[in-house]
Amino acid sequence: EMNTFGRQLTRELQETKSQWAWTCSKCGFIVKRSSRKFRSNYFHKECLGKLENIPINRPTSLEH
């Protein structure tokens, strides 16, 4: 039962990930979320700008 729930949650997360981007509020780059976490906020490790989860409307060339 828990396994089914886990699979469903994983699927939802993957769908969410395809529609949302972690965008740096400082430099505007799209960042993979594996950046630094500090007090439950995520930061871009290059410029230490706070990441914001922003919906993706179109593919962006800034992704890295």
Query: Would residue 62 count as lying in a domain?
Result: no
Alpha-carbon distance 54 to 62, whole Å? 14
pLDDT at 15: 62
Q: How many domains does the chain have?
A: 1
Taking each continuous run of H as one helix and of E as one strand, the counts in the chain are 1, 5
Token pair belonging to 41: 């906020």
pTM exceeds 0.85, yes or no: no
The whole domain housing 11 covers 2-55
Query: Would residue 36 count as lying in a domain?
Result: yes
- pLDDT tens for residues 12-43? 666 655 667 788 888 888 876 556 677 878 78
Sign of CA dihedral 27, 64, 22, 40: negative
Query: Would residue 60 count as lying in a domain?
Result: no
